[in-house]
Amino acid sequence: MNILVTGGAGYIGSHTVVELQKAGHMVAIVDDLSNAKANVIDSIQQITGIRPAFFQIDCADKNALRTVFEQHPVDAVIHFAGFKAVGESVKKPLAYYRNNLDSTLTLLEVMEEFGCKKFIFSSSATVYGPNNPYPYKEEMPAIQSSSPYGWTKVMIERILTDYTTAHPDFCAVLLRYFNPIGSHESGLLGDDPNGIPNNLMPYITRVAAGQLEKLTIFGDDYPTPDGTCLRDYLHVVDLAVGHLKALEYAVKHLGVEAVNLGTGQGVSVLELVHAFKQANGIQLPYVIGPRRDGDLPAFWADAEKAKNLLGWEAMHSIEDMCKSAWEFAKKK
Ligand code: WQD
């Protein structure tokens, strides 16, 4: 199939493009490179031997997006493009609402013009908000979040649900990611955020590489076994394969489906730090600091629906995630 991947030069997007090409799909990437580097396209080609078509455009630019659809047949879209820094979204809500909503609305309008009816959306566990019991199940209310970034995911899920109601021949799969970490085995792709990382694993690898002095663990007084927060960490390659499975589902079905992509296991910050040190045989200096605003003590996925509906489950271990993350960081 011909797949358009928006944000395909990003961390999860690039790993997904590799899996799509390995499965024989033709991929075109649209990315404005606001949070990704152009050499990722070279890395994808190095891994798969196939260079995806690449358009450096903003998804909200309707005319530019139309030229992509005119030059490349598009059977389905996987939509990653969007701003995604939780803290930044609190400081710049308008930028997040404008960018994340505009790009999605424009994409849907152009898809309609060209008769493209399959949409895989990069959603997030953040849509479950702070009040649902964990493990999170898809039928739980996913109607609030704790940041403008998270609210854009709630709103885009709503847009896709209403659009699918109005267009019964459309299919949208809303993939709710938990915490993706790790890298492709080649060490050529990985989580390489601009500036100081907000997320745990890229911060850990920068400390391990000596680029940052030490890790600060945000609080060890939570009501959890070791006092640090629990999260559902999954390997980014497993997550990428989940998109391939969602695409295969969307081709044969109609309507809208939300699906968790997680392992179904909670792992603490301290457990991940120790696993990283153990897997890579290196020291990792850390201190315990104050809690970070907005952090929830614990959540993880109920992963049953992905297994039953998509035939997908996470296969990689925490050790694989830690080793691969370090392999990528060492090569940078
Ligand atoms: C994990 C744990 C921190 C950094 C976020 C977004 C979510 C999704 C994934 C986009 C927490 C602790 C972290 C550090 C630390 N992003 N931590 N020191 O917050 O679960 O989820 O990223 O879709 O929407 O909310 O991930 O990696 O930021 O934090 O102690 O320097 O690590 O307190 O408990 P999080 P995270």
pLDDT at 261 over 90: yes
Q: How confident is the model at residue 151 (pLDDT cuts 50, 70, 90)?
A: very high
Q: How confident is the model at residue 110 (pLDDT cuts 50, 70, 90)?
A: very high
Cα gap 75→26, rounded to integer Å:
10
- Predicted local distance difference test score (pLDDT) of residue 194: 87
- Give 167-171 contacts, CB < 8 A, sequence gap 24+: 167/112, 167/117, 168/254, 168/255, 169/117, 169/254, 170/117, 170/118, 170/119, 170/254, 171/117, 171/118, 171/119, 171/250, 171/253, 171/254, 171/255, 171/256
Catalytic, out of 11, 128, 149, 203:
149
Q: How far is the CA of 273 from the centre of ligand 1 (A)?
A: 13
pLDDT digits (tens, 9 = 90+) for 186-245: 999 999 998 999 999 999 999 999 999 999 999 999 999 999 999 999 999 999 999 999
- Residue 135: asked if its preceding bond is cis (omega within 30°), the reply is yes
- Cross-strand partners of 2: 26
Which residue out of 213, 231, 236 has the highest number of ligand 1 atoms within 8 Å of its CB and is therefore the one to mutate? 231
Domain positions in the chain are: 2-182+234-262+303-311
- Predicted local distance difference test score (pLDDT) of residue 332: 79
Nearest residue (CA) to ligand 1, atom 32? 200
- Predicted local distance difference test score (pLDDT) of residue 240: 98
Q: Are strands 267-268 and 230-231 parallel, antiparallel or unpaired?
A: antiparallel
pLDDT digits (tens, 9 = 90+) for 300-332: 999 999 999 999 999 999 999 999 999 999 987
pLDDT at 98 over 90: yes
User: Does the Cβ of 320 fall within 6 Å of ligand 1?
Assistant: no
Nearest residue (CA) to ligand 1, atom 17? 200
Cα gap 152→155, rounded to integer Å:
5
pLDDT digits (tens, 9 = 90+) for 49-90: 999 999 999 999 999 999 999 999 999 999 999 999 999 999
Which residue out of 175, 198, 200 has the highest number of ligand 1 atoms within 8 Å of its CB and is therefore the one to mutate? 200
- Predicted local distance difference test score (pLDDT) of residue 57: 97
3-state helix, strand, coil in the chain (%, to 5): 40, 20, 40
Homologous superfamily in CATH for domain 2-182+234-262+303-311? NAD(P)-binding Rossmann-like Domain (3.40.50.720)
Tokens of 120: 């895989």
pLDDT at 157 over 90: yes
3-state secondary structure of 155: helix
Nearest residue (CA) to ligand 1, atom 27? 199
Going by the DSSP 8-state scheme, the letter that residue 198 receives in this structure is: -
Q: Which helix (H) or strand (E) holds 255?
A: strand 255-261
Give me the percent of the chain exceeding a pLDDT of 70: 100
pLDDT digits (tens, 9 = 90+) for 235-253: 999 999 999 999 999 999 9
The answer to whether 174 and 162 have CB atoms below 8 angstroms apart is: no
Residue 149: active-site member: yes
Q: How many residues does the chain have?
A: 332
